[in-house]
Structure formats: structure tokens, C-alpha cells
Structure 1
Amino acid sequence: MSDPAGGEPGGLSGTATLPTGTARPGTGRLVGAFLLDIVLASLVLVVASLAAGLAWGAWRVVEVVRENGGQVPAAAALTAAIGEPGALAQMLMAAFGMSAAALVLYFLRRPATRDERDRSRAAAKRRSTWGLSVLTGVLVFAGSALTGYLMQLAGSDPVPTNLALVEEAARQWPVVLVLFAVVFAPAYEELLFRRVLFGRFLAAGRPWLGIVLASVAFALVHEVPGLSANPPLAVVQLWLVYGGMGAAFAWLYWRTGTLWAPVLAHASNNALALMIHGLS
């Protein structure tokens, strides 16, 4: 399988390079393009999520009418019967929204060239790429666990925004949860955050600035202020964990030259998290 988000210049050397004769884009221009990417991704995510929500609502209306013998209940009764999306519906809507944002931004803003695809395939054939990917995933998980333990000693015990969804899905849809967390989420998140957002800076020879900005965006998406009951210290802790995760995956993409590497590292981290959560 070819990598639709081919690696950027740098490969194993760990240095991003620009084509000969190409002027280095200014910082303001790069940051402006990054912010435009964020705005476009947010718009696509909102539209796709609304479309998925409307589709789910229409399906529930049909189900309720069918269960009611073909009669449409009164508005209040219909609303109560429709209810709220369960774990399966929420995972499907999240996957649809985020994958739509990643794919639209990739094809619209950062499509891979043939040369990038060739470099990515070459990087994916190296055994060191896969060993480093798994090692990075394990170290990211270990670092997150250690941070959580130390912060717990300090009195901070945050509850991730998606914890309730994960617990419900683990009880009712364990196979779907594994596919969602280990396959789909790593794929579309790496395509958006590492290939599109970070990759723009990498291709322009500004990888460190890209690591910082893309990791901040990654952290904010995973822990949005105001959407949980976490106190400020716990929110900061989660930002540090997710930001560090994003930085590690961006470095891995830069180091190896193929997006498959951070996808595997991300999947390894999520798989370990699910395993530990299942044993606890």
C-alpha cells in the first residue's frame, strides 16, 4: 500500500531541506497558512459532524415511527424517543467528522507529490523505521503514565473528556472501540496533524516551529477547555501529555520520512492504553 501522505525531505538525517533555489517562506506566511489550515479543518469538522448528527437523527426518527406502528408521535414524545447518540453512534460520527477534515485538508492543502510518495515507500521498507515507531509509541505511553502518577501524588487526577465514551464503548462495542482507537483515529489524526499541519513547516525548513504549533493544536483538540469538569491544573496536565505526544509523533515523522511511522506509534500508544484500561 502506498502512503497517501508521503514523507517530507529529511529521511533518517533528521534535517528538513528545501529544493535548490527555493526561497525559505517567512514565519508570518507559514503561521498564516497554518491558521488557515486550522480554520478550514474546523469548518469541515463542524459541517461533517452536523451532517452525521442529522443522518443519525433521521435514522432514529424512522426507527421510532416504525416501532410506533407507522404513526408519528407528538413532538415532545418523538424527541424523548429519539434520545441521545450512544457510544457506537458517537464513535462513528467522530470518525466521520475528523476523517473528513483530514482528507479535505490533505487533498486541498497538502497533497503528496510522486517524489514524496517514493521517499515514504523507501523509508517504510527500513526495519529501523518500524522498530523506532513501536519504541516511540511505548515511550510516549510510559511518559504519559509517569506524568499521571507524579501529578496524582501532587493531588491532580484529571478525567479525559472521552473517558465516559471509552468506558461505555468498552462494555458494549469492544471490537469497534479497538478499531476506532487503534486503526482509524491514528490514521486520520496523523494525516491532519503531522502531514498537513506539521508537514507544512517541515517542508519549509522550520520543523521546530511546526512541532510547537501543531502539538499545541493537537493538545487543544483532545482537551477543550470548558468541556469537562477538570480543574485548571488537571487541564494543563492533559495539555502537557497530549502536547508531548504530538511532539513525539512529529519528531518521528521528521526522523523517518514516512507518515506510517507516527501512525504505528500512535496506534501502539492507544493499544497499550486500552490494554491497561481493560486490566484496571
Structure 2
Amino acid sequence: MLGAFAIDLLLALALLAGLSVLGTLGWGFAQGLRGLEGAQAAPGLTATMLIALCATAISALAVYYFRRNANAVERAASWRALWRPSSWAWIAIAPIVLATCSTLIVAAAQAQGLDATPTNQILGPAIHAQPALWLTFAVLIAPAYEELLFRRVLFGRLWAAGRPWLGLVLSSVAFALVHEPPGLGAGRGAGVLALWAVYTLMGAVFAWIYRRSGSLWVPYLAHAGNNLLATLPLLSTA
């Protein structure tokens, strides 16, 4: 049970790292063919984030299809469960609750003088320059592959094994660490703990409503709504 969970997670991380390196090398090679040299050939912020997003998407899809692909019966049941009134209540309520809790957690950390700057804050200029592109990735695409990996594969693995609470905790912690990698994010020092708390809470809420609703569509749409609420302020203030 835990061994399969670890294999799923390590496989996704290995694919993510490898594809990110290949994407960066491919970008540099393409720019070199154009005659650019040195720093000019290095990917900028937008290119770097697109490489990372594509690498994460491919990793999540690969682990999903080869490790815990849903069959036709499961997909049909998930689609039916989406149309229950309670499912749409979760979709509407979860983003509001998460946005409120996230704001309070980050504000409390900053009031203590901690640097709890979310990594996505550095995307403000890129989002402002290409809003349609970034809204599509942040609101429609990123939640899809993240729900496949963290909820369907990782949480679902332990849920199916009769350990849903363990799955909720482990998958949520993994969700937080991937979003704010230690030493690599924008936050610094103890402020990173606040960011981990925010993302762990998000992962836990999405896993919980997935289990309650029985449909992966529900956390996907709630996740999309949450990302929309997080992205719009960056777009307006960039």
C-alpha cells in the first residue's frame, strides 16, 4: 500500500525532473540554432514556467494512465456524481473557504515578520503580459493534471486500500511540497511553513470533497475556482 504510494510519487517526481531538464536543454538548443549565445539563449520566466507546467502535466498523465487509470464504469459514476446538488455546493463553497483561510494564514505569518510570499506572486508580470495564456494554464489545465496525480492517483491509492485519512495527509503534504519546494520557492525561512500550511489545507480540502462527492470532477472544478480567485488579483495589480 505505502510502497505503491511511494512508487507513484517517486515516478512522478523523476519524470518531472527529467522532463524539466530536457525541456530546458531543448529550449537552449533551439535558441542556439537561432544564433543566440549565453544568457540570451536561457529561457526567461514565461518559458521556464511553461516548461515546468508541461513537464508536470506529462508526468501526471503518465502516472495516471500507467498506474491508476480509471475504467469506463468509474468514469461514468464520477460524471453522474457531479450532477448532485451537494457536488455543486462543494464546488461553490470550497474556493471561498480556501481563499479566506489562505489569506488569514499568510497575513498572520507576515504580521510576525515572516516572508510568506507565495511563489506564484512572481508570475504577476507574465500574467499581465499574456493573461489568456496564463488563465488557461492556471484555471483549466493545472487543476486537471494536479487532481489526476494528487487526488486520483496518490490519495485514491490509499483510499482504495481502506486508509483514506492517511491518504489525505500524505497526498496533501506532497501537494504542498511540490508547490513550494524547500529552498526553491519565493518564501524564506519560517515563512515557508505558512505556505506549506496553505497548500496542505488545499490538498486536504480537495481530497475530502473528492471522497464525499465520489467524483474527481468536483475537486477539479473547486481547484479551478480557487486558482481563478488567486490569479485575478495578480492580473489586476501586475
**TM-score after normalising by structure 2:** 0.93
Residue 223 of structure 1: how far off its partner (Å): 1.1
Q: What CA distance in whole angstroms lies between the structure 2 residues aligned with 1:102 and 1:168?
A: 27
Answering whether residue 82 of structure 2 is matched by residue 124 of structure 1, we say yes
Tell me the C-alpha RMSD between the 2 structures.
Answer: 1.7
Residue 276 of structure 1: how far off its partner (Å): 2.5
Which residue of the partner structure matches residue 136 of structure 1? Answer: 94
Residues 8 and 63, structure 2, Cα contact 8 Å, conserved in 1:
yes
Which residue of the partner structure matches residue 150 of structure 2? Answer: 193
Q: What CA distance in whole angstroms lies between the structure 2 residues aligned with 1:55 and 1:232?
A: 34
Residues 87 and 168, structure 1, Cα contact 8 Å, conserved in 2:
no
Which residue of the partner structure matches residue 168 of structure 2? Answer: 211
Residue 127 of structure 1: how far off its partner (Å): 3.2
2:39 to 72, 77, 80: 80
Which residue of the partner structure matches residue 62 of structure 1? Answer: 33
Residue 229 of structure 1: how far off its partner (Å): 6.1
Which residue of the partner structure matches residue 35 of structure 1? Answer: 6
**Amino acid across the alignment from 1:124:** L
Residues 123 and 257, structure 1, Cα contact 8 Å, conserved in 2:
yes
Greater than 4 Å deviation, 4+ residue runs: none
Q: What CA distance in whole angstroms lies between the structure 1 residues aligned with 2:170 and 2:94?
A: 20
Superposition map of 1:81-100 within 5 A: 81-82=40-41, 84-100=42-58
Q: What CA distance in whole angstroms lies between the structure 2 residues aligned with 1:187 and 1:228?
A: 22
Which residue of the partner structure matches residue 52 of structure 1? Answer: 23
Query: Are residues 90 and 130 of structure 1, via their aligned partners in 2, closer, same or farther at CA, if it must alter by over 3 Å?
Result: farther
Residues 127 and 234, structure 2, Cα contact 8 Å, conserved in 1:
no
Residues 123 and 258, structure 1, Cα contact 8 Å, conserved in 2:
yes
Superposition map of 1:91-170 within 5 A: 91-164=49-122, 166-170=123-127
Question: Which has the bigger relative contact order, CA under 8 A and spacing at least 6?
Answer: 1
Q: What CA distance in whole angstroms lies between the structure 2 residues aligned with 1:200 and 1:38?
A: 11
**Amino acid across the alignment from 2:38:** T
Residue 168 of structure 1: how far off its partner (Å): 2.6
Q: Going by fraction, where is helix more abundant, 1 or 2? A: 2
Residues 148 and 157, structure 1, Cα contact 8 Å, conserved in 2:
no
Query: Are residues 80 and 94 of structure 1, via their aligned partners in 2, closer, same or farther at CA, if it must alter by over 3 Å?
Result: closer
Residue 56 of structure 1: how far off its partner (Å): 1.4
Residues 220 and 239, structure 1, Cα contact 8 Å, conserved in 2:
yes
Answer with 1 or 2: which has the greater Rg: 1
1:248 to 205, 213, 216: 205
Q: What CA distance in whole angstroms lies between the structure 2 residues aligned with 1:107 and 1:99?
A: 12
**Amino acid across the alignment from 1:151:** A
Q: Give the count of matched residue pairs.
A: 237
Residues 219 and 246, structure 1, Cα contact 8 Å, conserved in 2:
yes
**Amino acid across the alignment from 2:40:** A
| Deviation by residue 1:9-62 (Cα, 9 ceiling, x = unmatched) | xxxxxxxxxxxxxxxxxxxxx111111111111111122212222221222112
**Amino acid across the alignment from 1:36:** I
Residues 64 and 81, structure 1, Cα contact 8 Å, conserved in 2:
no
Residues 95 and 184, structure 1, Cα contact 8 Å, conserved in 2:
no
Answering whether residue 129 of structure 2 is matched by residue 172 of structure 1, we say yes
Q: Which runs of 5+ in 1 are unaligned?
A: 1-29, 66-77
Q: What CA distance in whole angstroms lies between the structure 1 residues aligned with 2:10 and 2:186?
A: 26
Answering whether residue 196 of structure 2 is matched by residue 239 of structure 1, we say yes
Q: Which runs of 5+ in 2 are unaligned?
A: none
| Deviation by residue 1:166-215 (Cα, 9 ceiling, x = unmatched) | 12312321211111111111111111101100010111121100000001
Query: % of aligned pairs identical?
Result: 46
